Amino acid sequence: MAIKKLNVSSSTQTESLPISKPESRLYMSFIYVAFISLFIGGLMGLLQVFVRSGRFTLPWGIDYYQVLTVHGVILGLVLTTYFIIGFHFSLMGKTVGISDKQRKVAWLAFWVMVIGTVMTAVTILLGKASVLYTFYAPLKAHPVFYIGLALVVVGSWVAGFVNWRQVYLWKKAHPGEKTPLLAFMVTINTLLWFIASLGVAATVLIQFIPWSLGYAETINVLVSRTLFWYFGHPLVYFWLLPAYMAWYAVIPKIIGGKIFSDSLARMSFVLFLFFSIPVGFHHQLVEPGIDATWKFIQVVLTFMVAIPSLMTAFSMFATFEITGRRKGFGGLFGWFKHLPWKDVRFFAPFVGMLAFIPGGAGGLINASHQMNAVIHNTIWVTGHFHLTVATTVMLTFFGISYWLIPHLTGRTLTKKINKLGIIQTIVWTIGMTIMSGAMHIQGLLGAPRRSSYSEYGGGEQVTEWIGYQMAQAIGGTILFIGIILMVYIFVKLAFFAPKGEEEFPIAEEEEDAEPTPKWFENWKLWIGITVALILFAYTIPFVDIIQNSPPGSVPFDWPIGNN
């Protein structure tokens, strides 16, 4: 089938293709899985804060680490990946179109991912894979856990290949035109995901599967952790970039403005591609066996993400101010007061942006070797990523859902749901401020993460933590109410809201914007620089790790001692 034609209005591209019913069904399938995950994962979160408060024990012999594995895997890996792929596909369908054949391949991707997810979920639920979402060796899970994970990754690759093919065919049909901004951004994010997940695929296929099946007696722990974090850090940018897509290209439309600069948006995405991969060592700062010089080099590269991050912050506030002033709201802050605070499509992502201020600042602390020594493996870290992924990213994904779901299901966002959405955002913010705040402080006082309630033999330091553990339980409970509200809103928008047409908001560029330079489409250059940076940051230390490895480790089954 031919690709649908873009409606190109004279000077600026208004990117808008109709989304057909079969397309909607595909995109929504990913989003259903995401919201089911939100509910299950949230429930586990609630159990965790209860257990950590010391006032509650899990019934029926359920193990804390089993619950925590479900929570981490289903929220950190399943919810995010499915929502992002569904969102990516929607953006591509809207801007460059999808053919019938591509849609079929996309379904294949979906089902491969679902089979993988079910395999992984079943092993965790049977208590055969309580290894947490980082599955650090030498903890050993049932082989099916790893095989399932590998299938999820392979499925996600297929989805990415479809996206690349969509752009390629669009380019062929539109010679000389620049790729629509959102399609460009999706291409960057799928590239980032593909290059990064090669690392986790390698460790799972080459190390974990043979070892868990008993074909290999031992595993090289440091190699596995290094390959995991080669993937684990870019993973957080894979979560964040879809939120940035909405900030750059959707929010301006919602507030009645235009995109501040198409070139700046593209440049920041290219920089994220460069600087999110060659930096995994900042998660391994206390790891013996990695040369300090290379840790230092990767930390310097880590700090380079400040550039695109600040570019993003600058351009968001520029859009807010220009739009407000154009509407005639003068004064120093008049434009700010008149932002559409009552529109949840704006309000939720805006709160997400605010959360990124403390979230980003905490990230700078985590990535600094000396300060990392203070907070490493404490519950501070958990507080940090509940601000970043569980607030900045989540609230933006919710903000997207308020228009994307009704757009796909042929319904509308009613005033009532909008209001409920505002309440949801406030509940989330209050719950998270309390829970994450308590985690940050408790972490500074030395409390470990990934630990159920313990008195640690009545140690004196533990008494300092107890109040914060209670606060964490209160915040977590409020947060869980936020999850219930969001799931209710999801069900409403997907099945019960009044039929109608909901806008798919995509902003245009400023009329007087400089044309976007042609070299932005030089994919060979971007991939070349990315690969060169990775080889620079990893080759020498990796060879060093392999050559100077201590003996590998035999498997440890969970609970420890069962091997």
Instruction: Please tell me the count of residues contacting Cu ion according to CB under 5 A.
Output: 1
3-state helix, strand, coil in the chain (%, to 5): 70, 0, 25
66 contacts ligand HEM (rule: CB under 6 A): no
384 contacts Cu ion (rule: CB under 5 A): no
**Tokens of residue 176, six digits:** 């000389």
Task: Report the nearest approach of ligand HEM to the CB of residue 309 (Å).
Answer: 20
Whether the CB-CB separation of 439 and 387 falls below 8 Å is answered with: no
295 contacts Cu ion (rule: CB under 5 A): no
Among 50, 184, 272, 480, binds ligand HEM (CB under 6 A): 480
369 noted as active-site residue:
no
Pick 233 or 384: Cβ nearer Cu ion: 233
442 contacts ligand HEM (rule: CB under 6 A): no
450 noted as active-site residue:
yes
Task: Report the nearest approach of Cu ion to the CB of residue 221 (Å).
Answer: 20
Residue 345's binding partner among ligand HEM, Cu ion, none (Cβ under 5 to 8 angstroms by kind) is none
Among 390, 438, 447, 485, binds ligand HEM (CB under 6 A): 390
476 contacts ligand HEM (rule: CB under 6 A): yes
Residue 233's binding partner among ligand HEM, Cu ion, none (Cβ under 5 to 8 angstroms by kind) is Cu ion
215 to 15, 74, 204, 208: CA distances (angstroms): 53, 29, 14, 10
User: Cβ of 415: how many Cβ atoms within 10 Å?
Assistant: 9
76 contacts ligand HEM (rule: CB under 6 A): yes
Among 17, 71, 238, 252, binds ligand HEM (CB under 6 A): 71
492 contacts Cu ion (rule: CB under 5 A): no
Rounded CA Rg of the chain: 23
Residue 73's binding partner among Cu ion, ligand HEM, none (Cβ under 5 to 8 angstroms by kind) is none
233 noted as active-site residue:
yes
Alpha-carbon span 507 to 514, nearest angstrom: 16
Checking DSSP bridges between strand 139-140 and strand 556-557, what pairing results, if any? Answer: parallel
Residue 76's binding partner among Cu ion, ligand HEM, none (Cβ under 5 to 8 angstroms by kind) is ligand HEM
35 to 80, 193, 242, 244, 488: CA distances (angstroms): 10, 22, 17, 21, 10
384 noted as active-site residue:
yes
Task: Report the nearest approach of ligand HEM to the CB of residue 394 (Å).
Answer: 5
233 contacts Cu ion (rule: CB under 5 A): yes
Q: Which residues pair with 139 in a beta bridge?
A: 556
64 noted as active-site residue:
no
Q: Which of 50, 237, 397, 504 is catalytic?
A: 237
Alpha-carbon span 155 to 116, nearest angstrom: 8
290 contacts ligand HEM (rule: CB under 6 A): no
- Our measurement of the distance from residue 511's CA atom to the centroid of its chain's CA atoms, rounded to an integer in Å, reads 33
Task: Report the nearest approach of ligand HEM to the CB of residue 274 (Å).
Answer: 25
Which of 194, 225, 192, 195 has its CA nearest to residue 207? 225
Alpha-carbon span 91 to 89, nearest angstrom: 5
Task: Report the nearest approach of Cu ion to the CB of residue 264 (Å).
Answer: 24
Residue 9 three-state SS: coil
Whether the CB-CB separation of 486 and 38 falls below 8 Å is answered with: yes
Pick 94 or 233: Cβ nearer Cu ion: 233
**Tokens of residue 494, six digits:** 């997907």
389 contacts ligand HEM (rule: CB under 6 A): yes
522 to 184, 277, 517, 519, 530: CA distances (angstroms): 11, 20, 10, 5, 13
The helix or strand, by DSSP H or E, that contains position 66, with its residue range, turns out to be helix 64-71
Residue 407's binding partner among Cu ion, ligand HEM, none (Cβ under 5 to 8 angstroms by kind) is none
53 contacts ligand HEM (rule: CB under 6 A): no
Alpha-carbon span 250 to 447, nearest angstrom: 40
Instruction: Please tell me the count of residues contacting ligand HEM according to CB under 6 A.
Output: 26
165 noted as active-site residue:
no
Question: Which bin fits 83, alpha (ψ -120 to 50), beta or left (φ > 0)?
Answer: alpha
557 DSSP assignment:
E
Pick 285 or 486: Cβ nearer ligand HEM: 486
449 noted as active-site residue:
yes
383 contacts ligand HEM (rule: CB under 6 A): no
CA dihedral over 445, 353, 277, 34, signed as positive or negative: positive
404 contacts ligand HEM (rule: CB under 6 A): no
438 contacts ligand HEM (rule: CB under 6 A): no
380 contacts ligand HEM (rule: CB under 6 A): no
Task: Report the nearest approach of ligand HEM to the CB of residue 450 (Å).
Answer: 4
The helix or strand, by DSSP H or E, that contains position 528, with its residue range, turns out to be helix 523-547
Pick 159 or 479: Cβ nearer ligand HEM: 479
User: Cβ of 5: how many Cβ atoms within 10 Å?
Assistant: 10
479 contacts ligand HEM (rule: CB under 6 A): yes
Taking CB under 5 A as the binding criterion, the range among 26-34, 225-233, 483-491, 530-538 that sits at the site for Cu ion is 225-233
Please spell the DSSP secondary structure of 107-151, one letter per residue.
HHHHHHHHHHHHHHHHHHHTTS--STTTT-TTEE--HHHHHHHHH
Residue owning tokens 């993988």: 116
Taking CB under 6 A as the binding criterion, the range among 40-48, 190-198, 252-260, 320-328 that sits at the site for ligand HEM is 40-48
Q: Which of 384, 407, 411, 440 is catalytic?
A: 384
Contacts of 198 (CB under 8 A, 6+ apart): 231
Closest-CB residue for Cu ion? 233
Pick 79 or 119: Cβ nearer ligand HEM: 79
Contacts of 293 (CB under 8 A, 6+ apart): none
Q: Which of 88, 386, 407, 440 is catalytic?
A: 386
Residues that bind Cu ion (CB under 5 A): 233
**Contacting residues toward ligand HEM, per CB under 6 A:** 42, 45-46, 48-49, 52, 68, 71-72, 75-76, 79, 132-133, 382, 386, 389-390, 394, 449-451, 476, 479-480, 483
- Catalytic residue numbers read 233, 237, 384-386, 449-450
